[in-house]
Amino acid sequence: MKRWSLHVGTFGGTEVRLHATFLLLVALFGWVTLVNHGPAVALQTVAFIIAIFFCVLLHEFGHVLAARRYGIQTTDVTLLPIGGLARLERMPRKPSQELAVALAGPAVNVAIYLLLLPFLPSAPPFSFRYDIIQAPFFERLAYWNMMMVAFNMIPAFPMDGGRVLRSTLAHFMDYAVATRIAATIGQTIAVIAGVLALFTTGNPLIVIIAIFIFMGAGQEAAYVSDQEALRGLRVQDAMLTEFRTLRLDAVLKDAVDLLLSGTQHDFPVMNTEGQVHGMLTRTSLISGLAQHGPQQAVTTVSEPCEVVLKPYHPLQDAMDHLRSSSSPALPVLDPLSGKLLGLLTLENIGEMMMVRAALGQQR
């Protein structure tokens, strides 16, 4: 995702990125309206698209601030042609908290709509036949904010409505069961919408959105299934305890020797006191070799450890940290001495899940 997105800024510790396809969308709509309606309408169209996505950004920061209230940080927010994506460290597992986080985004759009109403002669009609080209600017903006609410409240993952449905069901049943039901409902809606769009309107955008919703619902169900498989496990149950490290004075050739002599891909860089200075990933190693050569110091291309784990941390939370982290391996430190005890990767976690599944079949 980051490879194709541009850094816009950082607000409250959350990075905002703009996907390259968003710029293509602006250029496409600008060109189409320029050809069909002239430069004045084209300029208004571009300004309107930018205003819409500013509202999308505010929507996502509604989620960000609500999640922060429960101690959940957000790594970044990326603006895509289909909307925004806030990458939370994790979703809250308490139904009431998930409900609050899910509703915070649409609540922002409702607030924008209400703020715009006093400046309009009348409320815009809630209709799919609304003229989004010729209507007044702020009237269109109010209309689209309410359309965003309606779209996001569709009870299907990864829409906010899917999380609202899951959190509501989770008040009355197990979280995993609630997720499966919500995912099934979402995929059913996606299939019906996609088929109707394909054979009635022929609108390819609706078909694409239906596919997006279907896949998103499946991913959410798979994620929660993985989380359930790790219930009760700690980091120390899955961490790698046999590994190689690099010294501060090591060069990239030393790292290459370690990489080629075993199966380890990422190497902790240790200072003279035996503390973790940073992590040299395989990606950084290869990039460093291409740019600087084998005699470059590892400290110039290693990355700081933004997240460190303790051996007693729940493995469920550790998996969330790994998925949101830019590093494929996280160090596990002794809580008292700070000594490096192990490394944890998604591969380790996957192997633990396979072992538990195999043992479960023996019962």
Lowest mean pLDDT among 88-92, 151-155, 342-346: 88-92
Judged against a pLDDT cut of 80, whether residue 202 lies above it is answered with no
- Looking at 192, 209, 229, which one is the last position of a domain? 229
Statement to judge: residues 243 and 211 lie in one domain: no
Statement to judge: residues 242 and 222 lie in one domain: no
Statement to judge: residues 180 and 284 lie in one domain: no
CA pair distance 31, 43, nearest whole angstrom = 10
Statement to judge: residues 294 and 346 lie in one domain: yes
Q: What is the pTM of this model?
A: 0.74
What does the pLDDT read at residue 132?
64
In which domain, by residue range, is 263 found? 235-361
CA pair distance 23, 40, nearest whole angstrom = 19
Statement to judge: residues 108 and 17 lie in one domain: yes
pLDDT tens, position by position, 50-81: 898 899 899 999 999 999 999 888 888 888 77
Judged against a pLDDT cut of 70, whether residue 167 lies above it is answered with yes
Statement to judge: residues 53 and 182 lie in one domain: no
Quote the number of domains for the chain: 3
Statement to judge: residues 239 and 346 lie in one domain: yes
Statement to judge: residues 146 and 1 lie in one domain: yes
- CATH number for the domain including 344? 3.10.580.10
pLDDT tens, position by position, 105-153: 999 999 999 999 888 887 777 765 666 666 788 888 888 899 889 888 9
* 172 compared with 227, residue with greater pLDDT: 172
Statement to judge: residues 7 and 142 lie in one domain: yes
Statement to judge: residues 43 and 122 lie in one domain: yes
What does the pLDDT read at residue 298?
92
The residue-averaged pLDDT of 202-211 equals: 80
- Looking at 205, 229, 253, which one is the last position of a domain? 229
The residue-averaged pLDDT of 239-267 equals: 92
Task: Give the mean pLDDT of the chain.
Answer: 85
- Looking at 229, 259, 291, which one is the last position of a domain? 229
Task: Find the helix packing angle between 160-170 and 175-196, rounded to 10°.
Answer: 140
306 within 8 A of 322, measured Cβ to Cβ: no
Res. 269 pLDDT band, cuts 50 70 90: very high
Statement to judge: residues 121 and 16 lie in one domain: yes
Nearest residue to 14 via CA among 80, 85, 83:
85
Statement to judge: residues 315 and 336 lie in one domain: yes
